[in-house]
Structure 1
Amino acid sequence: MARKAKTGQRFNIMVIGQNGRLQYEALLFAASLRACAPAFAGRLIIAEPQPGPLWKGETRITGDVRAALEEMGAEIIPFDSVHFGQDYPYGNKIEGLSTLPAGEPFVFFDTDTLITGDITKVQFDFARPAASMRRTGTWPEEELYWPGYTKTWKSLYDKFGLEFDSTLDLSQPDEYWERYLYFNAGWFFGTDPVAFRDRFMEYALAIRDDRPEELVLQSLDPWLDQVTLPLVIHSLGGGRPGPELDGLDGDVTCHYRMLPLLYARESDHVVQVLEAVAAPNKVKKLLKNYEPFKRMIYQKRGEKVRALFDQNDMPPRERQVRNMIKKNGFWMR
């Protein structure tokens, strides 16, 4: 099912799916892709980590959800966790790239994403990889005796022999977090998943196992993937996304993360897409098996969350949003 994007290139989409929350999110993702981009004929690959030494218990997607995903045209492809697993589940997005066909451009999405518009119209330049800028200054954290943003980030570029200065956004002040190349790993893309995976794996393991001394005060859990991603993208000739990618994290995709946050702060269009793709009986009977989806979507708790906020005048910090939802007894994850 390969297709041509408007750029004239062919691309596949990958998300992670496994037993529990992610399999239901994968079902929502597939349903939204099918509904909002019916012309998409690329491969939708659900990368499924397998049980093993690094994943205890059952990780495989249950039979009924598996059948529904396959009916929607998704391909569920297993992979083994060699370096990460349940101790660092974010490593799935690195190791799962092994499920994608070599040499074919790809887009990775976190599973807690909705497709809300026609992704085939997005002007991807796969030769110049990029990633999501819907992020906050979560890393590095300012510490009393730390060396500062510049020395911390530069130590990583130096570790891998990468040029540093061109990654800086000089419109931002020195020692302000937005000056430095930093992404949310909720989506990223590239021209070859094998090259991307190999570079991502090499850098992530090197940082995890032998960090520069400038990082001694910094936590890498859960930030390792987001610390590594800018280095990978820069080394492969990419950088910050341009305006041609505004539809991602815009009117084409929504990385909602948790349904209470979706109902609290996303647009009416996102809510409408969510409820429309969750409505068919074949989907509903499966999503209702996951308690947060059952209560938020089908028992209308999401409407109560939405009524707590003015979506055009949201609290400036996500913590404030979460606290308001929790105060009213509506928080679920």
Structure 2
Amino acid sequence: MPSPDRPAPHAAGGDFTLFCIGQAGRLQYEALLLVASLRAHAPGFTGRVVVAEPQPGPLWEADPRMDDNGVRDVLEEMGAEILPFESRHFGATYPNGNKIEALLALPEGEPFLFLDSDTLVLDELAQVPFDFDRPGASLKREGTWPEIELYGPGYSAIWKSLYDRFGLDFESSLDLGQPDEFWRRYLYFNAGYFFYRCPRVFGQRFLDMALAIRDDPPEQLLGQALYPWLDQIALPLVIHALGGGRDVLPEGLMDGRVTCHYRLLPLLYALESAGTVAKLEHLAQDNQLKKLLKNHEAFKRVIYQGKGEKARRLFARDEGPLRSVQIRKRLKRHNLWLR
């Protein structure tokens, strides 16, 4: 394991806060792996590390806090701060909303990078030239939203209705190198990472837009599913409003050489490089981590009981790109879709 010594305090002019969500169930073990990978592969990172933890309240049926005290202890040994936050708008009905509400618990004016808990850090974050004045987010996505119906409005009408709702310029958001009515023409991100110079400003804008879309959507969204896509519907609007876009980082660093957003362990084994799998397994062999990760059935079976290697053998390295639904079906057919 990397040194448990705490990193230097956040320096306003240099470092930034890296934060993820940790809560009961799978996410606490993902957060543990994320922080361990950061310490192992990005020892030069001296910023603040925060694991934001939702607190019990009326929007949660069960206590959402991390319930494995061993995980909590090791996170703190690795220098992570566990930061409580209140769920006032989403909670159990939309856990993806945690990333929105947690932003408002972070200090005002401190640059941040959010990473989904199901992310590994593979190399030094200093390689990534973040410009925190120009926000960005993950381009590792498919055209999951909106789903265009035969006689319904198209991509342009749907997205323009949202830009109009919030007083944003729609035309400047378009990638004119992509065909009209093709999903890549429209600003769309995966919410697996995003960054900006102030979590409060970003978080309030994110919250206001998400709630407006949820509670009073434009008529062009009639019949469109808002869950689980609400965060990804609002996110491009937030980023566009704050002066960011799709071109703020070089390709191949985030969701590439520096980080891996794997989503679920079977998908990591099935789709990611041999080097990424090797880094995961090297981390997971640490005795302290192994003892804790085995407390979750999916981690135990995928990493330590060979299910991951079985998943990997189902996908040829030279196989063409598959959609997520095809990958899930293949894994489920072999009883390897473990969450």
What is the TM-score with the length of structure 1 in the denominator?
0.96
CA deviation after TM superposition for structure 1 residue 309, in Å = 1.6
Alignment of 1:28-177 (within 5 A): 28-61=33-66, 62-177=68-183
Alignment partner, residue 23 of structure 1:
28
Q: Is the deviation greater in 320-329 or in 35-44?
A: 320-329
8 Å CA contact 2:104–2:204 kept in 1: the answer is no
Gaps of 5+ in 2: 1-7
CA deviation after TM superposition for structure 1 residue 2, in Å = 4.2
> 2-side partners of 1:260 and 1:90: how far apart?
21
> 1-side partners of 2:169 and 2:9: how far apart?
36
> 1-side partners of 2:84 and 2:11: how far apart?
26
The one-letter code matched in structure 1 to 2:193 is W
CA deviation after TM superposition for structure 1 residue 318, in Å = 2.2
Alignment of 1:1-333 (within 5 A): 1-2=8-9, 9-61=14-66, 62-244=68-250, 246-333=252-339
8 Å CA contact 2:130–2:249 kept in 1: the answer is no
8 Å CA contact 2:118–2:263 kept in 1: the answer is yes
> 2-side partners of 1:321 and 1:222: how far apart?
19
The one-letter code matched in structure 1 to 2:172 is S
> 2-side partners of 1:311 and 1:241: how far apart?
29
Gaps of 5+ in 1: none
Question: How many residue pairs align between the two structures?
Answer: 331
CA deviation after TM superposition for structure 1 residue 117, in Å = 1.1
SS in 2 for 1:219: coil
Q: Percent identity?
A: 60
The one-letter code matched in structure 2 to 1:188 is F
The one-letter code matched in structure 2 to 1:39 is G
CA deviation after TM superposition for structure 1 residue 9, in Å = 3.6
> 2-side partners of 1:25 and 1:206: how far apart?
31
Task: Write out per-residue CA displacement over residues 64-108 of structure 1, whole angstroms, 9 at most, x where no aligned residue.
Answer: 110011011110010010011000111101001123221010000
CA deviation after TM superposition for structure 1 residue 330, in Å = 2.2
CA deviation after TM superposition for structure 1 residue 312, in Å = 3.0
SS in 2 for 1:46: strand
The one-letter code matched in structure 2 to 1:265 is L
* RMSD, aligned α-carbons: 1.5
What is the TM-score with the length of structure 2 in the denominator?
0.94
